[in-house]
Amino acid sequence: MIIQASKRGGAMQLGRHLLNGEQNELIEVHEVSGFISDNLMGAMKESYALSLGTKCRQHLFSVSLNPPAGEAVHVETFEQACNLIEQRLGLSGQPRMIVFHEKEGRRHAHAVWSRIDSEKMTAIPMPYFKMRLRDVSKQLYLELGWQMPDGFRDARLRDPRNFTLDQWQESKRKDLDPREVKAAIMECWKSDVNGPAFARALEERGMFLAQGGRKNHVAVTIDGRVFAIARVTGEKSKDVRARLGDPKQLRGVADAVREIGETVAPRLSRYISEAKRIAHNAMKPLNERKQDMKQQHSQERKILADKQRERNIAEQLARSARVRKGVAGVWDIMTGRYFKTRKRNEMEAFFGVQRDRAQRHDLVTAQMKDRQNLQQQISQVRGLHAAQILDLYRDAAQYRGMVRGDYQPDGADRGRARSQQPRGPELG
């Protein structure tokens, strides 16, 4: 079954989520064990209270267990899965809660453990818990006879001719572990098939059957590595030939590598076009936001300038009104009132200019901050897609080299796939 998990705090929030009757048609609190309280919310409060004696903020370990659609799974199976998780993650004996949810004809379970060791008052460490839960999930699929999802198979061990762009990029992010390759070859070997069926099984896992340098059977990976079937399986070469046929009837390593290049290179050209289209679509809303922001900022500055202009006119009229004319003006000059008024008007005009500049500065600063945030997003998206497209160009060049016959795999495989003389022992 599919297992998803996380370390978390927020005990009360998690409890309310598990008891949420609006999102689930039926809810069953199956188990509350190891706590003084016998109800779920009480157990959540108890777990939180215990965590206060430590520095741990993520004091809970929450797991969801989702069986395949259409499978009627017994309660004991869920309990078995929970027990297996406890053993693998070091949670044996820890307080736990199990809740069943039913919705749209499907049933799944949530299990929550307290990570706090009450004797040591420390949180139980859980390194690499996602990898360990993946192993638990695979074990349950095998033991229960369920069909394992394709996602559990290493993307590097699948036929690349059936990849989408996302799957190709995912496979490129992973290192091809020789142990995984050998396990895949052994899986094909144990299926008890003849030569053609064995070759098809290899191709489903991204490998191709070929004739090696010593006239024996080898598997060539999608990146040009060579693995001797006899060495991987531990069988004698004559037994391998008896089962798979005469290796002389197979293409050589160089031809296999060339075929890989011929089949993958055209697909990579389509990947590049698709990646460029995705990059354009990703940039389109950001460019639209940039244009909208440009118009918005221009409009805001125009509005501010118009308001400041109107205010300046009103202030100038008010200052002009202070200066009297005629006999009164002459009297103001004689008494010195005119010079005081002029000085006041000059000071107000000066501070008015400074005020207007400060307002424009504040507006421009705020707008620039918004624009810089948007530019940061644009740069990140542009850089991400540019790196992906550049990586695809490198891949395309590699597989075109396979077609020409001048591609050299790295490390111990160098020279295996470039010529028609694959000398020396194959990898095993």
pLDDT over 90 for what percent of the chain? 29
Q: Tell me, what CATH number does 136's domain have?
A: 3.30.930.30
Let me know the angle formed at the C-alpha of 282 by 279 and 284, rounded to the nearest 5 degrees. Answer: 105
Q: What is the pLDDT of residue 32?
A: 94
Assess whether 392 and 284 both reside in one domain.
Answer: yes
pLDDT at 265 > cutoff 90: no
Task: Please check whether residues 279 and 323 belong to one and the same domain.
Answer: yes
Report if residue 352 sits inside a domain. yes
**Cα separation, 268 vs 391, whole angstroms:** 11
58-62, 112-116, 230-234, range with the lowest pLDDT? 230-234
Q: Under a CB-based contact definition with an 8 Å cutoff, are residues 103 and 24 in contact?
A: yes
Residue pLDDT, tens place only, 53-65: 998 999 999 999 9
| Residue predicted with more confidence, 339 or 427 | 339
Least confident of 132-136, 189-193, 258-262, 404-408: 404-408
Structural contact between residues 96 and 116, judged by C-beta atoms closer than 8 angstroms: no
Tell me which of 344 and 272 has the higher pLDDT. Answer: 344
User: The domain containing residue 234 runs over which residues?
Assistant: 165-260
pTM: predicted TM-score of the whole model, two decimal places: 0.41
Name the burial class of residue 259, with classes exposed (0-12), middle (13-18) and buried (19+) by CB atoms within 10 angstroms of its CB.
middle
- pLDDT at position 422 is 38
User: For the chain, what is the mean pLDDT?
Assistant: 81
Residue 199 pLDDT exceeds 70: yes
pLDDT at 355 over 90: yes
List strands edge to edge, sheet with 207-211. 207-211, 217-221, 226-228
- Summarised one tens digit per residue, pLDDT across range 279-336 is 888 888 888 888 888 888 889 989 999 999 999 999 999 999 999 999 998 998 999 9
Per-residue model confidence (pLDDT) at position 425: 36
pLDDT given for residue 321 in this prediction: 92
Residue 288 lies in a domain: yes
159 domain residue, yes or no: no
Residue 113 pairs in a beta bridge with: 61, 96
> What's residue 410's pLDDT?
45
pLDDT score for 345: 93
CB 406 within 8 Å of CB 399: no
Q: Work out the average pLDDT over 349-366.
A: 90
Task: Domain count for the chain, please give it.
Answer: 3
Band of residue 418 on the pLDDT scale cut at 50, 70, 90? very low
Within a domain: residue 127? yes
- 289 & 197 share domain: no
Does position 150 have pLDDT exceeding 70, yes or no?
no
